[in-house]
Amino acid sequence: MHGWQPHPKPRVSWQILFSGLMFFFMYLPILVLAFYSFNSSAYSAKWQGFTWNWYLKLFQDTRIITALQNSLTVALCAVGISAVIGTLMAVGLSRYRFFGKTLYRGISYLPLIVPDIAIAVATLVFLATVAIPLSLWTIVAAHVVFCLAYVGIVVSSRLANLDPHLEEAALDLGATPVQAFIKVLLPQLMPGIVAGCLLAFVLSLDDFLIASFTAGSGSTTLPMEIFSRIRTGVKPDINALSVVLILVSGIVAFVAEYIRYKGAKGEGRGVRGF
């Protein structure tokens, strides 16, 4: 055919190359960390053979187990409180009009942009002012502050894709506002609530700065325990513990995103089918 020219071979653009290099340098430290967690040597800088012993010793270390229990207690309590308050906050901001709504929304989501050190110092000053002794529960209270914002913003994004007329139809059919919320709105919000809770759980479990400022005596969390041990040098047991935390955090974050995606996809199918 006249004028026909073969298509040029695709070339690797500089954007792909740049993205590859960026991800390489981002995840290279994690790969090195995982590699040395299997080192049989007590010193991370010298490789002496492959072993699983450091992972097995984690489950025999009483300090690690205690710190893990504290971290799980803080994360579960903070997420449970934030799930209830954050859901109600998101629904109120989305469905109702009241004086100062814009200001309240800005204040509610402020912990998303405020540095952790500012939240930690402000919480510590407040606790000292009202003479509340530091304990495991003061960490919970501090974690609720930022967990609430994350749960609220995820639920709000879910609310934005829902049809408000479904609640109105339930009210027209004789349901009370509470019944409409529990039987109509809450089931539709559940994917967003679960996704927000999982995200907040990971952030609470991995938090070090806020917990270190608000923890009392004997209230050491897992990140605080790790920090106290690396002062004398990073050993393979800390590498192994860090790898476990990275894997758990990654899995939970993936599940949260998957639930949020499936919920949004299911809502899209429901709207098209209607």
Question: pTM of the predicted model, to two decimals?
Answer: 0.79
CA distance 258 to 260: 5
Q: For all residues of the chain together, what is the average pLDDT? A: 82
* Per-residue pLDDT at 116 exceeds 60: yes
Helix ranges restricted to H, the chain: 14-36, 53-58, 62-95, 101-108, 116-129, 136-159, 165-172, 177-180, 186-206, 209-214, 222-230, 236-273
Q: 35: pLDDT confidence band, cut at 50, 70 and 90?
A: confident
Q: Which fold has domain 61-273?
A: MetI-like fold (1.10.3720)
Contact present, 150 and 200 (Cβ < 8 Å) = yes
Greater model confidence, 59 or 271: 59
CA distance 220 to 135: 10
* Per-residue pLDDT at 11 exceeds 70: no
CA distance 69 to 36: 26
Q: Where are the domains of the chain?
A: 61-273
Q: 13: pLDDT confidence band, cut at 50, 70 and 90?
A: confident
Residue 22 CB: number of other CB atoms within 10 A?
Answer: 10
Structure confidence by residue, pLDDT tens digits, 230-265: 877 777 778 888 888 888 888 888 887 787 777 666
